[in-house]
Amino acid sequence: VTTLIHILLGTMRPSGKGVFGKVSVYYGVVEAQGRGTLHLHLLIWLKHGLSPLDIKHRYDNDPVWAKKLLNWYDDVFSQSIPEGSVPYDHKNALYKRQPVMSRPLNPSDSNFEHNFNQDLCDILENTGMIHKHNDTCYKYLPKVIHSLRDDDKDCRFQLPRPTHEQSHFDEDGHLVLKCNNGSVNGHNPLIIASERCNLDSKPIGSGNVAMAMFQYMGTYTIKFTLDTAVVFSALCAAIKSVSENPPKDIDGNLDAHERSRKLLVQTVNKLVGKRELSGQQMASRLIGTPSCYTNRTYVHFYWSGMLRHIDCDIFQSNVNKHPDSEYDDNHYVSNSDDTLPDSAANLAVGEVIDADDEDPLIFLQPTGMPPADSLSKSKRNTLFDDIFLRPEELKDVCAWNQMRMYAKQELPKSK
């Protein structure tokens, strides 16, 4: 994974250029298949990339640019069998010489270009990149109509796709890639030839595709591995346990709040106990392999704390108090060590640090402090005094954008 991100995508190369160009942001989550095999789902944003609408507008009005764009798509994405290649001979091939078991071709070899297409074709055939229908294609098809299914039309992967002699945009503005075999999954030839594994690649050529991909990634990010039947059985067991031994207060009366808490705790414990993890997942956890790959950091936004800060009379009724906090009629007063000083109101907009064209990070420089470039690494803070006591320059910035894009430096303590 790190080889893919750092070298092939170019994020750690001196020029910053990879097989797709310069990458601005990447975000990937690791997911386990039913058999336990780990694989990565990765979204990539290119620097200075245009939106689908801007691409379509320029494509329609600039023929020269349109030709360069389609050439770029044909260069980095493929849905075709390589030209001049022949099918892989499984009968006479040695096990240790299988494409997935051998090293990539050496680019310095004089026959590299001549052998590349055949090597790529062999990899596609041996890594499942050429689709063949199986039960997974129809797992969402109602069983009552399985006998009437059309293997091609009812495949949930919508394969095989129609073939096209050249890449183009259709009348609806959707990108249609060149394709000489409708069963070939989209891929990047250089990445497949280097990684020698199943690795689908797909451009986001329209707003609808973009929304579908983000929903797909979000589903995998929060994917729950337990079946509904297991969840309900754990809930029933927790309800039965709490009903047979309900918690009571010191006077012997039923404690409704403690009963609710105990029900949730027991349900979660039973779900955790029933959750099955594969050997690959356990090994990945033990050796410290990340479950998420990204070059961005994300701040936590605590909605409950924000709502309590706005109006505690409305949003405070059933919330436990923190053991280190005191509560009065208006607000919480924290006694913990992470309380911010009142100097948060003295912040002023300073220089922009680590800025890029897509998502600048703006540094909040306190009054009387040295320039931003001479300060140590700033600390982000999610306490809401930074929002409600912010300087006049930030009054039109929403709370989320302030916490996401701005950093804060505390004023030095007076002697």
What pLDDT score was predicted for residue 68?
92
Q: For the chain, how big is the Rg over CA atoms in Å?
A: 28
The two structure tokens encoding residue 390: 């912010």
pLDDT tens digit string along 120-171?
999 999 988 999 888 888 888 888 887 788 888 888 888 889 999 999 888 8
Q: SS3 sequence, 288-338?
A: CCCCEEECCCCCCCCHHHHHHHHCHHHHCCCCCCCCCEEECCCCEEECCCC
pLDDT tens digit string along 88-128?
888 777 777 788 888 898 989 888 988 999 999 999 999 88
Coil/strand/helix, residue 370: coil
Rounded to two decimals, what is the model's pTM? 0.65
Is 25:295 a contact under the CB 8 Å cutoff? Answer: yes
pLDDT tens digit string along 290-308?
888 888 877 777 777 777 7
Instruction: Count CB atoms within 10 A of the CB of residue 17.
Output: 13
Coil/strand/helix, residue 269: helix
Question: Residue 43's pLDDT band (boundaries 50, 70, 90)?
Answer: confident
**Cα–Cα distance between 411 and 342 in angstroms, integer?**
10
Question: Residue 189's pLDDT band (boundaries 50, 70, 90)?
Answer: very high
**Cα–Cα distance between 16 and 47 in angstroms, integer?**
10
Choose among 260, 266, 276: nearest CA to 233.
266
**Cα–Cα distance between 100 and 127 in angstroms, integer?**
7
Coil/strand/helix, residue 49: coil
**Cα–Cα distance between 387 and 204 in angstroms, integer?**
36
What pLDDT score was predicted for residue 237?
82
pLDDT tens digit string along 360-400?
444 444 444 444 444 333 333 445 677 777 888 888 888 77
pLDDT tens digit string along 200-236?
888 886 667 777 777 776 776 666 556 666 777 778 8
The two structure tokens encoding residue 279: 């050997």
* Angle (CA) 81 87 91, round 5°: 150
- Return the half-sphere exposure (C-beta side, CA atoms, 13 A cut-off) of residue 80: 21
pLDDT tens digit string along 320-373?
444 444 434 333 333 333 333 333 333 333 333 344 444 444 444 444 444 444
Pinpoint the alpha helices (H) of 127-164: none
* Distances 68 to 22, 177, 224, 292 between C-alpha atoms, Å: 17, 14, 43, 34
What pLDDT score was predicted for residue 284?
86
Q: What is the mean pLDDT of residues 167-184?
A: 87
